[in-house]
């Protein structure tokens, strides 16, 4: 099957349909262990599946997108960014679905992390079918699969041992059990006794018992067997995996052998995705260390469609960094240009246009716009907000009332303005941040600086700041003030900035003067 466009999601979609053949529904899967705060790096897997799901639907096919919460996994380490560290330390080695919520908001630690991330995904237009593995194991859905794996453990051992420097121990089992008394997974021994009987002795509390695989809610498969088992159980046709799962002998490599050997199924079509980092950060994010950026924190800086667009523009098998520094301005500019190009006429020589258009389509949270809406330029907006004392409504009424005309464009303006304010408060360097004085301030000035400010006030009283071009105004500053008064240019600019914002430097002065306006300038620039 030929891909609809050159975009990587369409290429992946065509491969899934071609390889799996005609089906009533194609099943796509994703998942994570909510062992800590779910971060923007984890989001890459979810958005990758969502893009491919959309691409398959574009082919006229039905898609089932399942997202597995591996919340029956063990709490092995307490992330540093969580409250109630001492309480959580007492919960180590228990399933995270049974660990109390340290925030006191949900029924468990796992539920809290799940709820927060699910709410974040809704904001970017992703609503998969959630599978909670603690519930599914607890309900006995996988009892027959576990029994089958235990009865064929030799096949699993043979596959895993191919990639081990030392073979697995003779009593190794593909399962893990939690003690029914203390809920921990540390055992003196575990034994499969045949059929549905499974025995263990807990090394934490000493309990020794035999359980029925069909009735216990404490037994699960380990990761290397659990993943391929679920491929077979759900009939998964596509699932991506991180770089750490994708090497020879990694969990995908062994999983595809195990699913074939035990369940006679083919592994799903696979796509490796690489790591996401934060520009200026320490590298790979980690839930266990607490060094991370959440999707909510990213959404405080970038609009939902922009978050999707950033990921749509990156091939999954490439590392990339999300910017929170001054490059945020660049990202906004690039998105605005891409939107205009995507929604404009098809070029005579399309070149990269089909991929640009497709990335934009895939980034839409709702319906794709037919015509490009007005978007306030981000850099300009940050400056104008500060001129209006960070009052979004006043900024809109002064500068954008006749530009963002429709209710849709007005909503887009206010959404972007709030993010610009957040970026200024939390991320921007001093180069971009300032506060205009509300009253004149006394500044120590040289004789030449005083003379230059007097000349500036005279010039401002004569000029029409509304109509003069910034370039022409800049020339007048040099001709009528700096050269005429013989004041050093650097000292002149420093005097103006000190009177306006209490600093020696600031935004480019001609445009800054135009934005502030004559009345306010004459009030503040009195020598």
Provide the pLDDT for residue 201.
98
Q: Which of 154, 189, 221 is the C-terminal boundary of a domain?
A: 221
Instruction: Report the pLDDT value the prediction gives residue 412, as an integer from 0 to 100.
Output: 98
Do you know the residue count of the chain?
Answer: 527
Report pLDDT digits (tens) over 263-290: 999 999 999 999 998 885 444 555 544 5
Residues 353 and 407 in one domain: no
From 336, 363, 390, the end of a domain falls on 363
Any residues with CB less than 8 A from the CB of 63 and at least 6 apart, and which? 25, 26, 27, 28, 53, 56, 57
Residue 147: inside a domain: no
Number of domains observed in the structure of the chain = 4
CB atoms within 10 A of CB 54: 19
**CA distances from residue 281 to 84, 284, 293, 321, 422 in whole angstroms, order as listed:** 26, 9, 10, 9, 19
Question: Is 259 within the bounds of a domain?
Answer: no
Same domain, 331 and 290: yes
2 and 93 assigned to the same domain:
yes
**Domain carrying residue 176:** 165-221
Any alpha helices (H) in 1-39, and if so which ranges? 8-20
Indicate whether 199 and 290 sit together in one domain: no
- At 110 the pLDDT is 97
The DSSP letter of residue 95 is: B
Are 113 and 18 in a shared domain? yes
The pLDDT, as a whole number, for residue 244 is: 83
Residues 116, 7 share a domain? yes
Q: State the pLDDT at residue 526.
A: 87
Question: How many Cβ atoms sit within 10 Å of the Cβ of residue 303?
Answer: 20
The answer to whether residues 383 and 459 belong to one domain is no
474 and 357 share a domain?
no
* Bridge partner residues of 65 (DSSP): 28
> In this structure, are 134 and 10 located in the same domain?
yes
- What is d(CA 219, CA 116) in angstroms, rounded to the nearest whole number? 27
In which residue ranges of the chain is pLDDT below 50?
281-283, 288-289
- Same domain for 279 and 132: yes
* 108 & 26 share domain: yes
Longest dimension (CA), the chain: 99
Tell whether 16 is covered by a domain. Answer: yes
Structural domain includes residue 242: no
Residue 46 belongs to a domain: yes
Residue 484's CATH number: 1.10.10.350
DSSP run (H or E) holding 386: helix 378-387
Question: Where residue 351 sits, what CATH number does that domain have?
Answer: 3.40.50.620
pTM equals 0.92
Q: Is 252 inside any structural domain?
A: no
Distance, CA of 225 to CA of 254 (rounded, Å): 9
Q: How far apart are CA 412 and CA 415, in angstroms?
A: 5
- Is residue 372 assigned to a domain? no
Q: 462 lies in a domain?
A: yes
Distance of CA 229 to the CA centre of its chain: 29
Q: What is the pLDDT of residue 431?
A: 84
B/e letters for 322-348, b = 16+ CB within 10 Å, e = fewer, are bbbeeebbebbeebbebbebbeeeeee
User: According to the model, what pLDDT value does residue 291 have?
Assistant: 63
47 plus 174 within the same structural domain: no
């Amino acid at each position: 099957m030929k891909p609809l466009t050159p975009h990587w999601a369409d290429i992946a979609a065509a491969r899934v349909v071609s390889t799996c053949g005609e089906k009533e529904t194609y099943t796509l899967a994703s998942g994570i262990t909510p062992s800590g705060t779910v971060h923007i790096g984890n989001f890459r897997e979810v958005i990758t599946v969502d893009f491919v799901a959309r691409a398959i639907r574009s082919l006229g096919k039905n898609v089932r997108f399942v997202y597995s919460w591996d919340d029956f996994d063990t709490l092995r380490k307490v992330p540093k960014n969580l409250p109630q560290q001492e309480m959580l330390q007492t919960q180590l080695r228990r399933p995270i679905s049974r660990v109390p919520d340290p925030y006191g908001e949900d029924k468990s630690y796992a539920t809290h992390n799940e709820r927060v991330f699910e709410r974040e995904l809704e904001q970017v237009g992703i609503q998969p079918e959630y599978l909670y593995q603690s519930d599914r194991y607890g309900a006995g859905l996988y009892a027959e699969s576990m029994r089958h794996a235990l009865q064929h453990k030799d096949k699993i051992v043979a596959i895993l041992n191919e990639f081990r420097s030392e073979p697995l121990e003779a009593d190794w089992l593909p399962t893990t059990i939690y003690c029914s008394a203390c809920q921990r997974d540390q055992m003196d021994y575990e034994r499969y006794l045949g059929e549905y009987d499974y025995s263990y002795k807990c090394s934490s509390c000493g309990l020794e018992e035999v359980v029925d695989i069909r009735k216990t809610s404490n037994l699960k498969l380990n990761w290397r067997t659990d993943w391929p088992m679920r491929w077979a159980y759900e009939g998964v046709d596509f699932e991506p995996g991180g770089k750490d799962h994708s090497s020879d002998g990694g969990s995908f490599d062994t999983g595809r052998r195990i699913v074939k050997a035990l369940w006679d199924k083919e592994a799903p079509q696979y796509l490796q995705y690489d790591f996401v980092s934060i520009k200026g950060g320490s590298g790979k994010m980690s839930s266990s260390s607490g060094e991370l950026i959440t999707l909510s924190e990213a959404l405080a800086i970038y609009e939902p469609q922009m978050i999707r667009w950033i990921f749509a523009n990156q091939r999954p098998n490439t590392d990339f960094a999300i910017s929170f520094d001054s490059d945020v301005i660049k990202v906004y500019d690039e998105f605005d240009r891409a939107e205009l190009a995507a929604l404009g006429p098809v070029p005579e020589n399309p070149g990269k246009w089909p991929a640009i258009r497709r990335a934009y389509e895939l980034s839409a949270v709702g319906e794709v716009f037919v015509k490009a809406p007005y978007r306030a330029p981000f850099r300009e907006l940050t400056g104008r907000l500060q001129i209006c004392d960070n009052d979004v409504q006043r900024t809109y009424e002064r500068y954008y009332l006749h530009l963002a005309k429709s209710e849709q464009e007005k909503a887009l303006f206010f959404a972007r303005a709030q993010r610009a304010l957040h970026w200024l408060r939390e991320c921007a360097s001093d180069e971009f941040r300032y506060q205009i004085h509300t009253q004149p301030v006394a500044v120590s000035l040289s004789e030449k600086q005083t003379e230059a400010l007097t000349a500036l006030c005279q010039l401002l009283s004569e000029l029409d700041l509304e109509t003069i071009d910034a370039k022409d105004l800049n020339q007048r500053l040099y001709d009528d003030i700096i050269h005429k008064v013989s004041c050093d240019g650097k000292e002149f600019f420093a005097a103006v900035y000190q009177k306006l914002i209490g600093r020696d430097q600031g935004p480019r002065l001609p445009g800054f003067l135009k934005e502030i306006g004559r009345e306010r300038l004459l009030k503040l620039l009195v020598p």
